[in-house]
Amino acid sequence: MQDSTLECLSENVTFGDSGDMAGTLPDVDQAAKRMEVPLWGRLLIRVLKWAGGLIVAGFIAIVWQLISLNRDIGRIEGEIKNLPQSLSAQLLKQSEKSAQDGHVEQATHSLDTATALIRAARDKRQRIAAGYFNDTSRQLEQIALLSPSGELRDSVHQAFIQLAIYRSAIEPSPSLAGPQKTIDAPTAASSIQGAEVIHVRVHGDFVMPPVVRTLANAPTFFGGIFVGDFADSTQTLDGFRWINSTFVRFKIRYDGGEVELQNVRFVDCTFELPNDTRGNAVAAAIANLSPKLLIPG
């Protein structure tokens, strides 16, 4: 009686209609019969096979949930990463609106807070969405038109400088392969033409600016990757034409004279610029990677 009952269960027990993971499993039955597996053993095989199917399905569901969770975490992290830039843009809008309404102190506070966020992103060398630097420069230019003097004007200038430093901080380093030259004393422009990588070991400017800083007879630098090997490596821009040059780890000065920059890159540099429209224009050109900047007399 027990054998006939198990035989009946073995022939009729089903767990669904989804293929080998559930159903009559004829191949398994036939193999079990050929191996003379008892009826209770065949029934156990069916149960284990069905349970295994549930385990596999559960495992797939868990993996899918983990993948979805990881995707959601990545999206949230991306939003958090872009939060300082979004906040700085909103603060700049508030600053411009406050300046238009005559609330200079409030405009200055909003602008200083935006600058602090820019500085924080710079310190982390945080990559930024395309167009951020151009958009921020335009906002600063609008605020500058509303602040010809005073504390707000100073804040605008500091924001321009921090924006330029930020851009320089995330610029990729150039390849330093190629002909090398080392400068350990101030020199003339003509003495370093032709070298591709120039290591500068000079405290201060490695090329002294002309007494009269006009472009009429300005020395011209073509190419060259200038690498500042000292913490106080500096170079003054005005009075020269710089074409296809790159500065790495320099303190860059601009004193308000005539200058021309064509395809000039600044990598991991800081900037000392005058607090006026020319100084802001140089900072904006650096931040925006402008292909050419010409400041005539």
How does DSSP assign 36-69, residue by residue?
T--HHHHHHHHHHHHHHHHHHHHHHHHHHHHHHH
Same structural domain for residues 46 and 103? no
Is residue 208, in this structure, part of any structural domain at all? Answer: yes
Tell me the CA distances in angstroms from 217 to 191, 206, 223, one per residue in order.
17, 19, 19
Is residue 175, in this structure, part of any structural domain at all? Answer: no
Q: What is the signed CA dihedral for 120, 291, 293, 278, rounded to 10 degrees?
A: -20
Output the six-digit token pair for 130: 């395309």
- Over residues 238-281, the pLDDT tens digits come to 999 999 999 999 999 999 999 999 999 999 999 999 999 999 99
Among the residues of 2-38, which ranges form H helices? 2-12, 26-34
**What domain count does the chain have?**
3
Same structural domain for residues 139 and 159? yes
Whole-number Å distance between alpha carbons of 43 and 13: 8
Helix axes 277-287, 151-170, angle to 10 degrees: 30
- Over residues 116-162, the pLDDT tens digits come to 999 999 999 988 887 999 999 999 999 999 987 789 999 999 999 99
What would the DSSP string read from start to end of 184-217?
A: -S-B-GGGGTT-SEEEE--SEESBPPPSS--STT
- Over residues 70-120, the pLDDT tens digits come to 554 444 344 435 556 788 889 999 999 999 999 999 999 999 999 999 999
Is residue 269, in this structure, part of any structural domain at all? Answer: yes
User: For residues 283 and 161, is the Cβ–Cβ distance under 8 A?
Assistant: yes
Q: Across residues 225-236, what is the average pLDDT?
A: 94
Is residue 112, in this structure, part of any structural domain at all? Answer: yes
What is the reported pLDDT for 2? 46
By residue range, what is the domain housing residue 216? 180-295
Same structural domain for residues 211 and 286? yes
Is residue 234, in this structure, part of any structural domain at all? Answer: yes
Per-residue pLDDT band for 178 (boundaries 50, 70, 90) equals: confident
Within 13 A of 209's CA, how many CA atoms are on the CB side? 23
Domain boundary among 125, 145, 170: 170
